[in-house]
Structure 1
């Protein structure tokens, strides 16, 4: 039996405060990045900052669920659930696959 590859994830809540602040700042910059290259550079910097391998999509998100989930995950994971598209911005609100399974009606 082959095993599915591990999902690249990190826990925002487990990060030291200054790292949380720096991660949040990079994500805010990515939200308004004017080019794809700038966006992907910021995503790579954010992933590197928290020690998470950047997924092939190059797009990570902190779970936007209303619970206290701190999961940082591949925003293009097929199990993720889009709560709100990012009209006018780069980042929409996305639930991690675990929260999408546990309480999919959160919006």
Structure 2
């Protein structure tokens, strides 16, 4: 793997993908079972959610806890590294809330 050109490059390598920031946003509120997480993220397919969770787990951002029960019970949570990463989204979320209306208008009328 080639070296990162800067810290932003390293961070984007971890959170790159359409669904990863939303996964982090919802897991920042606490551990969630797979079904709860899927219902929270409108529009994500099972395949994509599973893939993105595996990648976040590989990077040490998310932990998967399998309780070894029947029926199966698994939940996902942020690791300490993931919690520190999720905090970086707070200002971005605040900016999005403040400008939500303007962004929606510009997206609906690109001219």
TM over 0.5: no
**Which one has the largest radius of gyration?**
2
Determine which structure has the larger helix proportion and give its number.
Answer: 2
| TM-score for the superposition, normalised by structure 2 | 0.30
